[in-house]
Amino acid sequence: MYAICRRILESGDLETKLGPPQPEDFQVRPRALPEPAPERPARAPGLELVAGVERLPRPGALGDPRARALCLARFAHHELMAVEIFAWAILRWPELPAPLLRGLLGILSDEQRHCRMYLERLAAHGDTLADHALSDYFWKHVPAMSASPAGAAAFFASMGLTYEQGNLDFAPLYRDAFHRAGDEASASACDAVHRDEIEHVRFAIEALRTLARDAGRDPEDEIALYEDAVPFPLSAARAKGRHFETRSRQQAGLSERFIEYVRTARSPQELRANPRQPGSRPGD
């Protein structure tokens, strides 16, 4: 398990990063703990991480093939960063229970498949990842996850319950936009990602509950578990899109109370603009 994670992080080429785990990679050997996880992934020329990129095109702009290509490149790179960060998490917290480590590697494999799907669609538009600027956005939050006193719970709160939960809204939004633009193959890719994200969010909330039980905490108080674990500046306000998918969250096993907490969450900017709006906790 640790060897494939290290290869993903220390190899800069896409072929290595997207090479799927083999059955033997799911074996967990607690006595063979890995060296510390690299702070940043290796990247081949053309795949370097940069700070700041142009905004993602709005769904209504996808009638333009260039806007579709930009979206596909951005989505493919999000999945590539997820592959790397899941590999990083396995190396960062090798003491996690074996079922959680195997679950992380399974999700890593899903992210590789998602990346390949988006890359295929990007190639159909005549582009590659190297044709686009690649933001380091996800990786900027890794140091806060790593340093959090919440330990691995900070990772599950960040990746599963913030980024991936947010994609429960964004993936179907762009699926429908690709459909309206007549790009059915890209719409199908977004739909496949959305279905997998439901299971990834389910895994994250179950992992948070497992860690809570191991620590003698109430595993059903999802709001407290999330708030105690998610590192600043991430928050529930970033775990959603404008078109809120309640049903997807129910399918992922989130409680109605937690779903409402996310639905009503407001960013600091929103609260400053309209201080009379409710805060993050339902009922406040």
Per-residue pLDDT of the chain (284 residues; tens, 9 = 90+): 999 999 999 999 999 999 999 999 999 876 566 688 889 999 999 999 998 888 999 999 999 999 999 999 999 999 999 999 999 999 999 999 999 999 999 999 999 999 999 999 999 999 999 999 999 999 999 999 999 999 999 999 999 999 999 999 999 999 999 999 999 999 999 999 999 999 999 999 999 999 999 999 999 999 999 999 999 999 999 999 989 999 999 999 999 999 999 999 997 655 655 655 544 333 33
Given a contact cutoff of 8 angstroms between Cβ atoms, the answer to whether 82 and 138 are in contact is: yes
Please compute, for residue 61, the number of CA atoms within 13 A of its CA located in the half-sphere on the CB side. 10
Report the phi/psi class of residue 253: left, alpha or beta, with left for phi > 0 and alpha for psi in -120 to 50: left
**Which residues lie closer than 8 Å to 170 by C-beta, 6 or more apart?**
241
**d(C-alpha 57, C-alpha 48), whole Å:** 22
